[in-house]
Structure 1
């Protein structure tokens, strides 16, 4: 359910980045107040929050997969290496063909680091995670303050000239123009992934610690604990989100961007935790059908993630409509809601017919080193249900 919920946040953030060079920054010089407000709210409430939830769940599932391998009596290391390799290959294809901001390749590399740290006790894992977060925040804040003190704000006209080539490349007709544009943008995307890799690894380690303590199993339906967590984390997370949006979109100028990112690194985990606990509280009060829709989406999260990129690429690039830099933030958000709703419905129907999504089945086969059953009547392989 948490994975299925996180898909919507990932979609909102990625769509704002794929829609054009201005969408995530509040729109271009002629953007409406509504579009600027949509970008501001996206930064405050979504950006930097939902990849943390995915990363936390990645670390959590790592422990479950290790236990499954142990129960099946097979070595975990080869299985984990095959899974990481499969993720890297899928991510590389995704980055070149659909979206250069892919996160799967970074996950694949960090998964190897996580394997080396798997022996940490929960307190030690949390200490390392906190150290990584604090170090990254200090780096961003230090560089951001230097930028504020010595740099000049970005001139909108100059920025428009810089991105003009990118706009033309993504609007161009023909399939070859899009991969070429992605390859051109790939170095900067990889640089961003490298910069924020400590934050992702910290979330991995938090998930690792939580799984070793059985946090979700023990607290997932403890309404008192969930309410207390929301009450403690939500004010901190919202305050940080507002400050981040002020630095990234309005009213501060471009020099404050990295200062806002430092604030986000420190406070986004609080908002992420409040989202997760709030969702569990809500789902415990509503009809089981709503929880079932999210659970089905979460079971094929990788397929949905890639499908989102495919749809967005068809809408905004030369693969299809070529609407790059032509759609405002409000319209993008409305499209996100429609696409996510369609994914929930289609995912629930597909999961009645298959045990795993199409890409999950492929990755599972690579991980286990054999062909696995994909239908509800298929055979469990190596007892690895947790994977």
Structure 2
């Protein structure tokens, strides 16, 4: 067997659904991350409790449809993408494929660690890198093993977990809102490795399911899996909405905060149904892509272009959070409300969509996508083509 490494997929030949899903979900990532910067006289689950009725309504919307639902979808798409990378290495030995994935893992860990240290301590890129280090072995597992692994970790996140299952009442800490540069470096250097090493446990279920789905190209060929996608979308999104209500109504102030034993039940319920919701969102976007067919307007193309540059756009979001919320910069964490922060997240996402669309029209990939591909494949990637370096 030869060890030749196949090239990454050119932009012109990429399927719409995965890119559209990534682009759309970056809006949810912005909504999910930004409210954790807010301060208030009382904080519950990352939301100030002293807001207006409009803030309560926005809190209910985000905690029902976004929190714990966007990241599982990205985990699914991450596994899906890894499966597609492996499928393109048919002429390579298993060892060379693992090395290729480990190089990508290293790129994610390095970029994510710098991101966590300099911009946003809640980085997920390093966690994905750690997950991929293990996932390089999983990529060759049999389907049954992947599905059993996904089911096992779904059960694990459903179990009451003591202190980790209770609803946090802590305000933003020094790692999230550092008072100065020294505090930022010290606090984040302690917190970031913890997130990078434990984060993969929460992503394992969608990652394994994504590997399985990627082998079958389910999101790229929705016409073949229409029934499966419809069931997944309806059941997954239905479970996500219903399973979120105990937490969402509590965070919105509609019902009182329950005692600790009840919190240890409803917390895992919110997380587990969020994983199903991530699957449901991916299926729904795939069905939307099928319905659109070749009728792609400028909005769809722009969101897909954002998905093609998801790492760059994700990092741009963190630049905005750093400028707006850091105490020694604009320091608006005590000024903005849940509603105005959601509007900021929407504006930030819209800005990245416009930026990605312009980059697409000019034939430029995102700089961090180019870097990751350069490390992974050892080639220079430009305008959808791979050129030997």
| Bin for the TM-score computed over the shorter chain | 0.7 to 0.9
Residue 21 of structure 2 corresponds to residue 13 of structure 1? no
Alpha-carbon distance, 1:350 to partner: 0.4
* SS state at 1:288 partner: coil
Q: Distance in 2 between matches of 1:42 and 1:299?
A: 25
Match of 1:315 among 324, 334, 346: 324
What is residue 346 of structure 2 aligned with on the other side?
A: 337
**Residue aligned with 1:47, SS:** coil
Q: Distance in 1 between matches of 2:198 and 2:178?
A: 29
Which residue is equivalent to 1:170?
177
Superposition pairs of residues 1-387 of structure 1, within 5 angstroms: 1-20=20-39, 25=45, 27-71=47-91, 75-140=96-161, 166=174, 170=177, 172=179, 177-178=180-181, 180-181=183-184, 183-184=186-187, 187-188=190-191, 190-191=193-194, 194-219=197-222, 225-246=228-249, 250=253, 251-253=255-257, 255=260, 256-285=262-291, 287-289=295-297, 290-318=299-327, 320-370=329-379, 372-375=380-383, 378-380=385-387
Across the two proteins, how many residue pairs are aligned to each other?
362
Q: Deviations over 1:197-240 (max 9, x none)?
A: 32201111100111122222332676555434333333212101
Task: Tell me how far apart the structure 2 counterparts of residues 180 and 225 of structure 1 sit (CA, whole Å).
Answer: 50
Deviates most, 290-299 or 226-235: 226-235
Question: Hey, what does 1:385 align to over in structure 2?
Answer: none
Cα deviation, 1:142-177, whole Å, max 9, x if unaligned, reads 6678x7xxxxx98x8xx67xx6x749x9375xxxx1
Residues 27 and 207 of structure 1: CA distance in aligned 2, closer, same or farther (over 3 Å): closer
Higher helix share: 1
Deviation string 1:362-386 (CA, Å, 9 cap, x unpaired) is: 111111234x04235x54559xxxx
For structure 1, the 5+ residue unaligned runs are: 148-152, 383-387
CA distance in 1: counterparts of 2:210 and 2:268, whole angstroms: 22
Contact 2:35/2:341 (<8 A) preserved: yes
Deviation, structure 1 residue 192: 5.3
Distance 1:29 1:249 in 2: 8
Q: Is the 8 A contact 1:221 1:280 kept in 2?
A: no
Report if aligned partners of 2:312, 2:367 keep a CA contact under 8 Å in 1.
Answer: yes
TM-score for the superposition, normalised by structure 1: 0.82
Q: CA deviation at 1:336?
A: 1.3
Say which is worse superposed, 228-237 or 346-355, in terms of deviation: 228-237
Q: CA deviation at 1:134?
A: 0.7
Deviation at 1:324, TM superposition (A): 1.9
The 1:135/1:247 distance shift into structure 2, 3 A limit, reads farther
Q: Rate the CA distance shift 1:144–1:339 in 2: closer, same or farther, 3 A.
A: closer
Task: Normalising by structure 2, report the TM-score.
Answer: 0.82
Give CA-to-partner distance per residue, 1:295-351, whole Å, 9 cap, x none.
100110000000000011101114631112221000011111111112112101101
Offset at residue 273 of structure 1 (A): 2.5
CA distance in 1, matches of 2:345, 2:266: 25
What are the Cα deviations for residues 248-277 of structure 1, in whole angstroms up to 9, with x where unaligned?
564342735443331023211222222223
Q: Deviations over 1:42-73 (max 9, x none)?
A: 11211111111111111111121123334478
Q: Is the 8 A contact 1:137 1:263 kept in 2?
A: yes
